[in-house]
Amino acid sequence: MLSPKETYKDIVIRHIYDGLMEGRYSPGEKVLESVLATDLGLSRAPVREGLRELVSIGLLEYRPQVGNFVATMTPQEIVDTYVTRGVLEGFASSEAAAEMSEEEFDLLDEKAGRMQLAASRNRKKELNDLGEIFHKSLFRHCRNLQLHKQAESLSLKHHLLFHRYWANLYSPEEIASRHRKIVNVMRSKNPDQIEKTIREHYFITGNRIADLARQESGNNA
């Protein structure tokens, strides 16, 4: 990730994103332009720019003449985003598999092992980053940059969800087995099977996270 010059807008984006990670912002909460401006020592102009970009990413929702709000995701919407990601990355991976060598598949298996290790040691950030690297490696060789862009937007949202619910999501062993299963089907280079497997992976993950979100909202009510 190269940023030639971090502009004020980027500071705003990072500030909100970190705040979302740390839970300083709650879903549905309103984000005031003026308080952000004073907090960061800026004027409202660059703040607005940053907020608009966060809206386009999908982390905020914007209502004209009213303001910006932290995006709320219903359990169903959570499942939908994972299903959509499965469709996109499943296809991208099926195309990428044809270009990949055995050595690269071995590296993926190794990454799965490192994920298991990170999970067993409760290293959240490391696990989250490894997961992103793993999945990106699956379709890195897909030449369709459109697909990459569309998938990346979803990946960002899921990064936040994973950060919140990872503890009760998968056991370390399950993480390894699930991801090794994906590597195995990639080795087969059978497009239909690859798509099917990756779609299933995201479908299950999405439903589990949706359940965890349901539990949480149930306890709060």
Partner DNA sequence: ATCCTATAAAATGTCGACATTCGACATTTG
Partner DNA sequence: CAAATGTCGAATGTCGACATTTTATAGGAT
Q: What's the rounded Cα separation, in Å, for the pair 70 and 165?
A: 18
Q: What's the rounded Cα separation, in Å, for the pair 18 and 21?
A: 5
Report which DSSP code applies to 4: S
- Residue 32 as a binder of DNA (CB under 7 A): the answer is yes
Q: 64's torsion region: left (phi>0), alpha (psi -120 to 50) or beta?
A: beta
Range in contact with DNA (rule: CB under 7 A) among 29-37, 72-80, 161-169, 192-200: 29-37
| Among 96, 94, 100, CA closest to 190 | 94
Window 55 to 94, contacts with DNA (CB under 7 A): 64-68
Q: What is the dihedral of CA 148, 151, 153, 157, to 10 degrees?
A: -150
Q: Give min distance, CB of 11 to DNA, in A.
A: 8
Give 46 or 206: the residue with its C-beta nearer to DNA: 46
Q: Three-state SS for 171?
A: coil
Q: What's the rounded Cα separation, in Å, for the pair 58 and 77?
A: 12
Give 30 or 121: the residue with its C-beta nearer to DNA: 30
Q: Give min distance, CB of 206 to a copy of itself, in A.
A: 11
Q: Give min distance, CB of 47 to DNA, in A.
A: 8
Size of the site for DNA (CB under 7 A): 22
Give 37 or 117: the residue with its C-beta nearer to DNA: 37
Q: Give min distance, CB of 87 to a copy of itself, in A.
A: 5
Give 47 or 130: the residue with its C-beta nearer to a copy of itself: 47
Q: What's the rounded Cα separation, in Å, for the pair 97 and 219?
A: 43
Q: Give min distance, CB of 8 to DNA, in A.
A: 3
- Interface residue list for DNA (CB under 7 A): 5, 7-9, 30-34, 41-46, 48-49, 64-68
